[in-house]
Amino acid sequence: MKTVGFLFSVVFLFSLEVFSATTIQWWQFWTDPSIKPTITEMVAEFEEANPDIEVKLTDLTWANGHEKIVIAFASGTGPDVVELGSDWIAQFAANGHLADITEYIVDDSAEFQGWGMATYQEKVYAKPWILGTRVLFANRDLLVRAGYDSIWVPITWNELKQAAFKVHRLGPDIYGWGSNTAEKHRLYKKYLPFFWSHGAKIFSDDGKYCLLTTEKAIEALRFYKELHDSCGYVADQRGIEDAFLDGKIGFIISGDWLLKRIELENRRINLASTLIPGLRYPGTSFLGGEFLAVNEASEHKEAAVKLINFITTPENQVRFCKANRSANPSSIKAQKDPYFSSNIHLQTFIKQIQSARHPPVNPDWVYIEDAIETAVEDALFGSGLVAEPLRQARIKVDKLKSR
């Protein structure tokens, strides 16, 4: 009798183990009331479709989310699935914190954009979810007042410069150009589109040489500085957008969040959006985005990948973009959804992403970014020189490479 009881207990415990759900942790940044319910719904649907997997959702904030992820990974308590900004992937991957998911993405690799940002040393460490780029926004009313046709937008640097100058001359509280102040993680993103559009590169193709002091890089910074000095309204990104929406600025570079603001705040502005101007049309914009990665230390990698694949399906991406007013799903199928083609501004973003570039995938990118940003800051707000700050930046980057 005792033996039967013992066997029964063993079978019972074993069945508990077999039939209990696998719990995976997902850390993500979307806490805004407009999008959080969609995230929660998607998770609920995933759990319903996969009764053996339970998802525990944790919200992060942009203010300290990066720090939390770093500390969690360093202490071995990281989540199974984590949302990462494109700039962070190389840093985590190089230090062995992200799982190589190359084998899981073979089937659908052609269906998504943005793999370049998730690939480090030929291995894929994350799946692109929602991409992000910047376009040029213009206040059409100010352009018309400055003498331009009601459908005109600038497509070259010279056109942009002339139009910005003309708008700037309209009145004492009107500015031609929205120019970012020395804001960390923001300022360099405004310079790089001009840098790339002019054909400059951060590194040589073989990655051996830093090319921050080429004539093209210097000319791009000189052009950006000219806009800043001659007709810039200087503020942080939020301040620039406020002034733009108040009708004080002719041109700003911004992301899809501006469209969301206009809609949610019911702002009345005669808005034009166009691709980043370049010496040749179209110019190159900045490319970044949100990625989903699996923790190398996760004991449930397959379940984690399942969740990632579910969240990033074209249908779920369209759903996400509609709720969040995002413009750039990573899924190519999602990009063709009528939701994007029905809105002229969303179309601009979809087009811009075809000519957008991401920074080098480099574990030291945070330092390289800092060096470039310091150079731009010095040119705009410090010494006022252009070539010397870029030379200093190159020295810093060369030092990093020689470590």
Partner 1 sequence: MTRSKSIAFVLALPWLSTLVVFWLLPLVISFLMGFTDFRLLVKEFQWIGLANYRALLSDRDFLQALKNTFIFVFGTIPVTTVLSLGMALLVNRQFKGRGIFRATYFLPSITSMVVIALIFTNLYGRGGYVALLANLVGLTPPENGFLYDSSTALFSIMAMDVWMSVGYYMLIFLAGLKSIPDELYEAAQVQGAGTIRQFFSITLPLLKPVALFILVINSIKSFQVFVEIFVMTKGKFDTATAVYFIYETGLTTGFKFGYASAAAYVLFVIIGIFSALWFLLLRRRQALW
**Of 88 and 112, which has the nearer Cβ to partner 1?**
88
Contact with partner 1 (CB under 8 A) among 71, 144, 332, 344: 71
Q: Which two tokens stand for residue 336?
A: 């063709």
What stretches of 312-386 show up as alpha helix (H) in DSSP?
314-324, 332-335, 338-341, 344-352, 365-381
**Of 256 and 377, which has the nearer Cβ to partner 1?**
377
Task: Scan residues 183-202 and list those touching partner 1 (CB under 8 A).
Answer: 183-184
Residue of 293, 359, 290, 285 whose CA lies nearest to 330: 290
Least separation in angstroms between residue 95's CB and partner 1 is 5
Stretch that binds partner 1, among 64-72, 136-144, 148-156, 295-303 (CB under 8 A): 64-72
Site string for partner 1, 219-238 (x = CB under 8 A): ---------------xx---
Size of the site for partner 1 (CB under 8 A): 24
**Of 51 and 76, which has the nearer Cβ to partner 1?**
76
Residue of 260, 264, 267 whose CA lies nearest to 245: 267
Using CA atoms, how far apart are residues 328 and 349, in angstroms rounded to an integer?
7
Asked if 144 touches partner 1 (CB under 8 A), the answer is: no
Backbone CA torsion sign across 8, 9, 10, 14: positive
Which of 144-158 are b and which e, b meaning 16 or more Cβ less than 10 Å from the residue's Cβ?
Answer: eebebeeebbbbebe
**Of 268 and 403, which has the nearer Cβ to partner 1?**
403
**Of 111 and 236, which has the nearer Cβ to partner 1?**
236
Contact in structure between 136 and 275 (CB atoms under 8 Å): yes
CA angle 367, 225, 243 (to 5 degrees): 95
Site string for partner 1, 80-99 (x = CB under 8 A): -----------xx--xxx--
Asked if 12 touches partner 1 (CB under 8 A), the answer is: no
Asked if 74 touches partner 1 (CB under 8 A), the answer is: yes
The DSSP call for residue 98 is B
Stretch that binds partner 1, among 100-108, 155-163, 178-186, 314-322 (CB under 8 A): 178-186
Least separation in angstroms between residue 130's CB and partner 1 is 24
The whole-angstrom distance between residue 246's C-alpha and the CA centroid of its chain comes to: 26
The DSSP call for residue 281 is S
Contact with partner 1 (CB under 8 A) among 59, 382, 398, 399: 382
**Of 260 and 396, which has the nearer Cβ to partner 1?**
396
Using CA atoms, how far apart are residues 250 and 232, in angstroms rounded to an integer?
10
> What is the contact surface with partner 1 in residues (CB under 8 A)?
66-67, 70-71, 73-74, 91-92, 95-97, 181-184, 234-235, 239, 366-367, 370, 377, 381-382
